[in-house]
Amino acid sequence: MRVGPVADAGCVYCPCATPMSDEPASTPRSTLLANLVAGTTTAVVIIPQAMAYAMVAGVPPIHGLYASVLPLVAYALVGRSRELAVGPGALDTLLVGFALGSMAFVISENWPAYAAVLALLVGGIQLTLGLLRAGFFMNFVSAPVINGFTSAAAITIALSQLDNLLGYTCERGAGVFEMLRTAIVSVPDIHAVTAVTGVASALALVALKKWRRSFPRALAVVAVATVVSMAFDFESRGVAVIGAVPAGLPGLSMPTFDAATWRQLVPTAITIAFVGYLTMISIARTFANRTGRDIDANRELVAAGAANLAAAFSRGFPVSASFSRSAVHASAGSTTPKALLVVAGWVTLTLLLLTDLLYALPTTTLAAIIITAVSGLFDAQEPRRLWRVKRADAVLLGITFVATLAFGIEDGILTGVAASVLLVLTRTTRPHTAVLGRVGDTTDYRNVRNYPDAAPTLGLLVVRIDAQFYFGNVTFLKDVLRRLERDADAPVHTVIIDAASLNQLDSSADAALHQILDDYDQRGLRLAFATVKMPVLNVMRASGLYERLGHDRFFMNVHAAVEALREPATPAASPPASGDR
């Protein structure tokens, strides 16, 4: 991922350091109206979504609304993305639910409190990393890892809501295969009315999306399901409903737990902080690239931390963003992050005035919202594209996907990151090398394996190294040079290294070049370099390699080196010259 330019050179994010948003000081009426419309439209989407994702996190639906007020205000004051719809997201809520479900000391009564502790830890981690300007760390996570993880997470989320959709019981925090086994053996226990309501809700959501994507389908389905539930008294028929929802705003409080509990939650908090921010920055950059704007990764990391801290103090849970919700927010005309203040305002009115209307809402309808929403996270086309473009990346995606399903969310993404790092190390420790030959009568030299008309010069071995030369690939490159010399069509009297792609030379690699030179001197071979970049040349000068070889062993291009060294060295010409030209 490309890190955008830093908005300000200072180390503190504050109103005096950079403007808080991109809108002008005096907002025109048309712009204000556009943001009111955008905020209202997004509120229609986030209210049912927030309650639904709260179920994924394992907390009562009302906490989803709590997580959709102050976190949005915090991001609006600190963040810079115009389109990002902050709030409960699929991946972070899934991590919360599975992490807390696997801890024996977490019971239903204290689940929301532990979720708030996680939000506090996540916010603290993100804020600290942002102030330390550590946003560049996210560049080390490749797109195939994210794609494999999100596709597996979509399956996991959908399976985690099957029990709510169909009305059977499944142990919270169970793995994918256990959830699948439970679903199969629980077929006789499916509650008919619950299943019919849930499936009908899902079909309605899909049909409304095909009819008109901009239609507030989730809110419409929630409204209809609630009315039907009230009319036919679903609660008395065994259908689970939300039940009594406390009216009013959440009181501000500091989550407190003992140090031992915090230590157990830290690994999960680190994973959520990582995944949540990665989700936010990916969505923000997707929309920013469409309009030619840049996003400051460090600023967004601070904003993510502020949003999660706000969630912690308002009885919420970790938040990030939703791509589908952000798409609605953008298409509705949002021109500033402060449009989220309008969203928070509508959620506040819902908490103050409309909670009584939510009593009869079937939880199966919320499960249908979740399942249909996360279906868009599963990307079946990307593996096929990667297999055509770069098979190693397709394998990386597959490893992450399988590991996430088999070992769980946290271990899955850690496996993907580890595989990604291993792939990078493999590529740098075993870099691509090419034997170059002259193309016809031109001065161009190309890889003889890829260009049939590229002919090597007898007696000369011209090698291009397409990577930095460092301690990790020293042995490999020494072995490659020996093998290429052995496989040459004629005895080699000169080895020319094309250093055009050589960006770095560390002390270990420089020492290896001295050893190679010693070996060549003993065997009467010459070593020369072409197209050496100044940072590499400076290391050679500092170590004495440049002086040992002499300035007449360094050339501006490969053709000049070949023309000068075409003939074997004679005894009179063998002592290398020294000094600079």
12-35: pLDDT as tens digits: 333 333 333 444 444 477 788 888
User: Domain check: are 203 and 300 in the same one?
Assistant: yes
User: Domain check: are 245 and 140 in the same one?
Assistant: yes
In a domain, 16, yes or no: no
Residue 377 has pLDDT above 80, yes or no: no
The residue among 360, 379, 398 that closes a domain is 379
User: Domain check: are 375 and 436 in the same one?
Assistant: no
Which pLDDT band, with edges at 50, 70 and 90, does 9 fall under? very low
The residue among 358, 379, 400 that closes a domain is 379
Residue range 38-53: mean pLDDT, rounded: 89
CATH number at residue 488: 3.30.750.24
In a domain, 215, yes or no: yes
Half-sphere exposure of 452 (CA within 13 A, CB side): 0
Residue range 306-328: mean pLDDT, rounded: 91
The enclosing H or E element of 528 equals: strand 526-530
Query: Domain containing 172: what range?
Result: 29-379
Task: Decide: 430 and 466 in contact? Cβ < 8 Å.
Answer: no
**Lowest-confidence region among 259-263, 465-469, 561-565:** 259-263
In a domain, 55, yes or no: yes
Residue 574 has pLDDT above 80, yes or no: no
Give the C-alpha separation, 55 to 481, whole Å: 60
User: Domain check: are 323 and 455 in the same one?
Assistant: no
User: Domain check: are 190 and 57 in the same one?
Assistant: yes
User: Domain check: are 366 and 514 in the same one?
Assistant: no
Residue range 391-401: mean pLDDT, rounded: 92
User: Domain check: are 372 and 479 in the same one?
Assistant: no
Average pLDDT of the chain to the nearest whole number: 86
In a domain, 322, yes or no: yes
Task: Decide: 350 and 44 in contact? Cβ < 8 Å.
Answer: no
User: Domain check: are 35 and 108 in the same one?
Assistant: yes
Residue 429 has pLDDT above 70, yes or no: yes
Residue 572 has pLDDT above 60, yes or no: no
User: Domain check: are 185 and 49 in the same one?
Assistant: yes
Q: What is the pLDDT of residue 571?
A: 56
Q: What is the pLDDT of residue 106?
A: 72
User: Domain check: are 325 and 245 in the same one?
Assistant: yes
Give the C-alpha separation, 69 to 224, whole Å: 25
Q: What is the pLDDT of residue 138?
A: 67
In a domain, 76, yes or no: yes
Per the structure, the count of domains in the chain is 2
Which is higher by pLDDT, 409 or 316?
Answer: 316
Residue 310 amino acid letter: A
In a domain, 553, yes or no: yes
Residue 237 has pLDDT above 90, yes or no: yes
User: Domain check: are 301 and 445 in the same one?
Assistant: no
Task: Classify each residue of 45-65 as buried b or exposed e, where b means 16 or more C-beta atoms within 10 Å of its C-beta.
Answer: bbbbbbbbbbbbbbbbbbbbb
Note the pTM of the prediction, 2 decimals: 0.71
Residue range 125-154: mean pLDDT, rounded: 83
In a domain, 23, yes or no: no
Calculate the CA 472 to chain-centre distance: 27
Residue 336 is classified by DSSP as: S
Q: In 438-533, which residue ranges form alpha helices assigned H by DSSP? A: 474-487, 507-523
Q: What is the pLDDT of residue 30?
A: 76
Q: What is the pLDDT of residue 581?
A: 32
In a domain, 504, yes or no: yes
Give the C-alpha separation, 489 to 463, whole Å: 15
